[in-house]
Amino acid sequence: MGFWSTVSTISLLWFCYQSLPLQNKHRIWKTMVFTMIAVDVGLGSLTMIFQKVDYMFISAPASLLVCTLLSIRCAWDRYSPAIYLILGWSIFFLGVLASLISLKSGEFNILSYGMVFGFALEICFFSFALGEKVRLAERQAIEANVHAFEQLKKVFYPHQIQQIKAGRELETTMPTGKAKACVLCFDIIESSNIAIPYRDRFLEAGIKRCVKIMDQGYDASQLTARAYRIKEMGDGFLCSVGFPFETGEELGIPSSAVTLAEDFIREFQAHVDEHDLSDQVFCSIGIAFGVIEGRYPVTGAVEYDVYGPAVISANRYERVRKDLFSAKNDCHILTIQDKVYDELSDEQQKEFECLNVETLNYSIHGDRRAKLLYWLERRPSGLKRNQAS
């Protein structure tokens, strides 16, 4: 009898220990459970050796009491399955007490079945507790997945999230390989000299407005958008038109790129006007046309990257502003490569002025073959008239 009583009470304690979420703050309860297990083993051994200690009268109620108190403590911490465990342990505890009282009195009555009825009801409530635990774990898993995908939306496009959910590998969610595209380099002129207390928030908000323009026309199924943001560079950014997203427009890639650059300038000017900084803050954009490549790295973090000669050239053409147009500090500047200009419509070409860099004994780093470049300026007054019309 002592052996089986020891096994049963230890099983009860171990079940309680495994069923409840005992964290570090419940260390005292963990200690109590293991202490009770040690006591049960000791009393059971005494029962089997001396056959004099009525082990069940001591160990079973004590173990059930510990289980009940431990469940109450976890229910206090809002662990819902513990409520069913409390009911199960309490009923079984009362049933054991009733059976022990009947056994002690030596009379056979309805109390003698207390342990049987208590055990049956305990199993029912334990089933409810198990179901509640599974439901709680499932809900937590769903919430964790939802949170994870919400965070992934900050890094990946919606179509990538959909394809990952469908079981596709990350490396297959964006176009890879080489293609011709226009790259735009956007920079806020002398941003470090903007003397306002909220300068960083101002710059960040202006870039965000331009990024929203890039996302216009985004189609997850057709992989189209006005542009793809390659990367941000503090007070500016790089984006590509034509790859990896197609423009979805009838205009050619260079025409779409120039139109996008004009929209960037208008949107940035509107942002400047809202902060009463008109005629003080301006932007510069350089556009180059050429081959770029999209790829995923084979080592390290799997992060989609776009690079190529056009990316470097766009940066160089934006920097031309510092060398050749530094005196024009009261307007927005758009500088484009001759390859871009040659692909524009006649109406767009009329907006640009030609500059022969060869006669100036000036070479564009990274595009030394270029003899001509084209540029235009946009003043705040003209942009406001366009917006009003």
Task: Give the span between the Cα atoms of 162 and 173, in whole angstroms.
Answer: 9
Task: Give the span between the Cα atoms of 284 and 334, in whole angstroms.
Answer: 6
Q: Grade residue 23 by pLDDT with cuts at 50, 70 and 90.
A: low
| Chain centroid, CA 18 distance in Å | 32
- The overall average pLDDT reported for the chain is 81
Task: Give the span between the Cα atoms of 266 and 271, in whole angstroms.
Answer: 9
Average pLDDT for residues 1-16, to the nearest whole number?
56
Model confidence, pTM: 0.70
Average pLDDT for residues 74-80, to the nearest whole number?
78
Q: Which of 184, 181, 180 is nearest to 336 (CA)?
A: 184
- Asked whether the predicted pLDDT for residue 14 surpasses 70, the reply is no
pLDDT at 327: 75
DSSP string, 248-303: -SSS-HHHHHHHHHHHHHHHHHHHHHHTT-TTT--EEEEEEEEEEEEE--SSSS--
pLDDT at 289: 94
pLDDT at 298: 83
pLDDT at 4: 46
pLDDT at 285: 95
Asked if residue 64 lies in contact with residue 72, where contact means CB atoms within 8 angstroms, the answer is no
Task: Give the span between the Cα atoms of 270 and 254, in whole angstroms.
Answer: 24
- Asked whether the predicted pLDDT for residue 51 surpasses 70, the reply is no
Q: Which of 60, 80, 82 is nearest to 71 (CA)?
A: 82
pLDDT tens string 82-106: 788 778 777 877 877 777 777 666 6
Q: What are the backbone dihedrals phi and psi of residue 93, each rounded to the nearest 5 degrees, phi first? A: -60, -45
Q: Grade residue 301 by pLDDT with cuts at 50, 70 and 90.
A: confident
Average pLDDT for residues 11-19, to the nearest whole number?
62
pLDDT tens string 120-154: 887 787 788 778 888 888 888 888 888 888 888 88
Task: Give the span between the Cα atoms of 286 and 228, in whole angstroms.
Answer: 16
pLDDT tens string 211-231: 999 999 899 888 999 999 999
Number of neighbours of residue 63 by Cβ within 10 angstroms: 26
pLDDT tens string 249-296: 778 899 999 999 999 999 999 999 998 887 889 999 999 999 999 999
pLDDT at 329: 78
pLDDT at 388: 45
pLDDT at 193: 83
- Asked whether the predicted pLDDT for residue 5 surpasses 70, the reply is no
Task: Give the span between the Cα atoms of 317 and 337, in whole angstroms.
Answer: 7
pLDDT tens string 190-210: 888 888 888 889 999 999 999
Most confident of 161-165, 331-335, 377-381: 331-335
Burial (Cβ within 10 Å: 0-12, 13-18, ≥19) of residue 88? buried
Average pLDDT for residues 297-314, to the nearest whole number?
88
Q: Is the dihedral of CA 122, 128, 134, 140 positive or negative?
A: negative
